[in-house]
């Protein structure tokens, strides 16, 4: 969890220089809903009905949990994408969609989370990930 918080700080700093997402207009640092971050991490760690979740399901839980859980005051979409990308990199995979497509996907998810269940997010991650 501390790594996620540190990454969020870096994301906001980078976003002030328009490095990550093109349409960024500024933002505030801070946690808005820590319990949603804790819940997201717990969902990733524990089996569901005794079945261990695969890497891509865990990645989808992470991306959707940060983005839709409004964990931070600002920067949820970008932080969700970057943290998921780092999580996959640490596990031997690269999330490498076109950056415009990534921005459109996480923005659409943030606008209407109910249309982006874990299964749909997992599918998008799978289509845009390659092993290295």
pLDDT tens-digit readout, 12-35: 555 543 444 555 555 676 778 888
Q: What is the dihedral of CA 95, 99, 100, 105, to 10 degrees?
A: 30
* pLDDT mean over 66-70: 94
Residues 77-86 pLDDT 10s: 988 998 999 9
| CATH superfamily assigned to domain 2-131 | Fic/DOC protein, Fido domain (1.20.120.1870)
Query: Do 81 and 110 touch, CB atoms closer than 8 A?
Result: no
Mean pLDDT of 42-57: 86
Q: What is the CA radius of gyration of the chain?
A: 14
Average pLDDT, the chain: 84
pLDDT band at 45 (very low <50, low <70, confident <90, very high): confident
CA–CA gap between residue 87 and residue 61 (Å, rounded) = 12
Q: Residue 126 and residue 35: Cα distance in Å, rounded? A: 28
| Under 8 Å between Cβ of 75 and 24 | no
């Amino acid at each position: 969890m501390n790594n996620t918080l540190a990454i969020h700080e870096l994301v906001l700093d980078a976003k002030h220089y328009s490095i990550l997402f093109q349409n960024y207009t500024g933002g505030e640092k801070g946690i808005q809903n820590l319990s949603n971050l804790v819940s997201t991490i717990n969902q990733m760690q524990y089996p569901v009905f005794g079945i261990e979740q695969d890497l891509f399901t865990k990645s989808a839980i992470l991306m959707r949990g940060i983005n839709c859980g409004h964990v931070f005051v600002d920067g949820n979409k970008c932080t969700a994408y970057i943290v998921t990308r780092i999580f996959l990199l640490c596990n031997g995979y690269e999330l490498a969609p076109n950056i415009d497509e990534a921005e459109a996907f996480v923005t659409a998810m943030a606008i209407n989370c109910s249309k982006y269940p874990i299964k749909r997010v997992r599918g998008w991650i799978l289509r845009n990930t390659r092993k290295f």
